[in-house]
Amino acid sequence: MDPITYIIIIAGVAFAGVIIAYLILMKKMGKTEYMQMKKLQEGTKADSFSMDILYQKLYIKYAKAPFIKRYIYKLRRRLEIINLDDEYTTRKDSARIITKAIIIFLIVSALTILITRNNLLLMSILLIFELFVVDTLVEGMVDKLDNNLLKEQVEFFAEIRHAYHEYNMVEEAIYQISLDDEKSVSKQGDKIYEILISDDPETELEKYYDTAPNSYLKEFAGISYLTKEFGDREEDGSSLYLKNIDNITQEMQIEILKRDKLNYVFQSLPFISIAPVLLIEPLKSWATSNFAFTADFYNGKIGTVMQILIVLVTVIAYIMVRKIKDNGGVQVDTSTNENPWQAKVYKTPVLKQIINNFVPKPGSKDYRKMQKLMKDSASKAKMEWIYINRISLAIVTMVISILFFSLLHKIAINWVYTEPTTETEVLGQLSEKDQKKAEELTEQDNYFLDKLKGDLDITQEEIEREMIKSPYYEEEDEEIPTDAERILNKLKVVNSEYMQWFEILLAMAFAVIAYMTPVWLMIFQKKMRQMEMENEVMQFQTIILMLMKIERISVEMILEWLERYSNIFKEPIARCVNNYEAGAWEALEELKNSVTNQDMIRIVESLQAAVEKIPIKAAFDELDADKDYHQERRKHANDVLVSRKGLIGKAVGFTPLIGLFVGYLIIPLVVIGLSKMSTTFTQLGG
């Protein structure tokens, strides 16, 4: 046999050997764990299309996009708190929310451009406004995640009860219930478990207090730590730890009900408040197509001013509705950073000198007044930054106002040049023939306007002489005096449309209003916080109920807990904690003098009694005795709060819609219609 035959035989035998070896190996591996591992791997493989993977890829794209980059980092700072060290979920949620926002913005923008394509000014304003609306929608999506977490916590705490009965150890119960990775609250449970078993749980607990998604998890973490540290004991035949968990659960259930009621009351108000800006152009088109006499109003200066006013009222109403509805979601300030643009402006020596002339001098009455307003409204900005905002708003408003007045003059002149000119007043719609004739007459008048504009002292006789010289008229035409009078009236409009002194004054007045706007917003925020004051005091009562029965608890520890969970009373309580070592009674007396709420004053007086006279449990025994009453009162207070917010929200939310139909449709139709009818009857009578 030749060498080629040998090679073929050897290759065939080798191939057969490989096949046999492979079959034997597969048979052996089938009996081992290999096949099980392979099946597990197949079970974890993603499908050809996965939304989770798509969102991960989109996140990377968004993080590189110039405009979206800053926004997605701002958004993820809030989501990090909820997801707690879960980078994959944080990126997925960030990309998902941003994607929804972009889709909504594109759809609404396309609709806006379609509706307002003939009004570039209104289109520009609406597109800018829609960016703001999308921003608040994103905030709503994050709040929804926070609400879902709160509802998961109710079930989580119920499971903790059963686990605690089984293991009788706080950390073990939390660990067992936190094994469910499907829930967001399980991540929080894992974190609390790690804190409890750490070498320095107090320090780790303080860190967690700064990043916890809501106050209820803070309370749970704190109570769990105190129980692990000091031990549990029975109270009326049941575990004190479980009683405290019940108290926290009841607090959460009341809060969930309040949020659900607020969401129900406000579910359509934000959309009702912004609807008018989308209805401006359709209403204008309907009115001008059915009532030709309104065209002068809608296409002139007054109509444009009304459009801008409706947009401004809508923006203000939308902001106020969002603030009124605020249900206290994730309490984290993502709007400020250590080096905002205001700080950069203030570092410039010349600008710093100018700004300091506006900022009140430290120690003055105005300075103390502004400082108090900032605290009452929970403003995180520095006073210099607030005044930079005020000055910037005033300058921008004045410049925009002057540009707007200039634009109004151009609109008025343009309407004179484009308005179809009729020789008699028309109440209905012009026919096609009359429309063409009116446009020809307008073009004819424009010839004389271009030739004669600029002469402020022109007379009707001079216009008549120019008309006779033109190719449009003969010397004996009878309509020359009437047409000359019409052209003179148009010339008066064209020659008078320039910047007036009172418009500069109006621009300055608008600038003053803009300068005051940040202060008014803080006052509004202060009023909204005062509505929540009673709710916060009742939360303090629940916290004291949980702490008063724990052994080795002190007044100072109670104050530290109240400071941790306070919002409205945070500043006076923090001052009391800082001054406590210098004199407990004096610090509490200062706290009592700095608050006006009677229930809060009673809490402080009970703390004073516990400092010098009686045990903490005895000082607050009325809270325990009236626990059911306080709980019912809390529910009633929430109902009253929701009702008050609902009434205010409806009044504010429907204001733009009422303004649109009354100020932009009904009044113009009635007033202009009656005026035109009067003129028509006069012409017919003459």
Lookup: tokens for 451: 């030739």
Outline where 594-664 has alpha helix (H).
Answer: 598-612, 616-619, 621-625, 627-661
**Count of positions (residues) in the chain:** 686
| β partners of residue 164 | none
Q: What is the mean pLDDT of residues 52-63?
A: 83
Contact 220, 543 (CB under 8 A): no
In angstroms, what CA-CA distances link 379 with 91, 334, 489, 645? 29, 13, 55, 22
Strand, coil or helix: what is 306?
helix
- Concatenated DSSP letters for 212-243? -SSHHHHHHHHHHHHHHHH---EETTEEHHHH
Radius of gyration, alpha carbons of the chain? 36
Question: 601-616, pLDDT tens digit by residue?
Answer: 888 888 888 887 788 8
Contact 510, 186 (CB under 8 A): no
Lookup: tokens for 27: 């048979």
In angstroms, what CA-CA distances link 567 with 284, 376, 526, 652? 47, 10, 12, 26
Helix axes 240-266, 301-325, angle to 10 degrees: 160
Given this model, what pLDDT does residue 85 score? Answer: 63
Within a 13 Å sphere around the CA of 125, how many CA atoms are in the beta-carbon half? 21
Neighbours of 472 (CB within 10 A): 15
48 compared with 19, residue with greater pLDDT? 19
Lookup: tokens for 241: 């730890």
Question: 545-593, pLDDT tens digit by residue?
Answer: 888 888 778 888 889 888 888 888 888 888 899 988 888 888 888 888 8
Question: Above 70 in pLDDT, residue 425?
Answer: no
- Per the rule left: phi > 0, alpha: psi between -120 and 50, beta: everything else, 233 is beta
Lookup: tokens for 218: 């803070």
Question: 625-651, pLDDT tens digit by residue?
Answer: 777 777 787 788 888 888 888 898 899
Nearest alpha carbon to residue 390 among 237, 520, 502, 235: 520
- Concatenated DSSP letters for 419-443? SPP-SS--SSPPPHHHHHHHHHHHH
Contact 532, 566 (CB under 8 A): no
197 compared with 72, residue with greater pLDDT? 197
Question: Above 60 in pLDDT, residue 619?
Answer: yes
* Angle of CA points 591, 593, 594, to nearest 5°: 65
In angstroms, what CA-CA distances link 271 with 103, 133, 314, 389, 432? 17, 10, 10, 29, 39
Compute φ and ψ for 234, nearest 5 degrees.
-85, 140
Q: Which residue type sits at 555?
A: V
Question: Above 70 in pLDDT, residue 428?
Answer: no
Given this model, what pLDDT does residue 38 score? Answer: 47
Contacts of 606 (CB under 8 A, 6+ apart): 619, 620
Res. 336 pLDDT band, cuts 50 70 90: very low
Given this model, what pLDDT does residue 391 score? Answer: 92
Question: Which residue is listed with tokens 């960016």?
Answer: 131
Lookup: tokens for 446: 């424009």
Question: Above 70 in pLDDT, residue 524?
Answer: yes
Res. 513 pLDDT band, cuts 50 70 90: very high
| β partners of residue 235 | 238
Lookup: tokens for 131: 């960016």
Lookup: tokens for 608: 């004073």
- Distance (Å, whole) CA 607 – CA 320: 38
- Concatenated DSSP letters for 463-521? HHHHHHHSTT--TT-TTHHHHHHHHHHHHHHHHH-S--HHHHHHHHHHHHHHHHHHHHH
654 compared with 33, residue with greater pLDDT? 654
- Distance (Å, whole) CA 599 – CA 619: 14
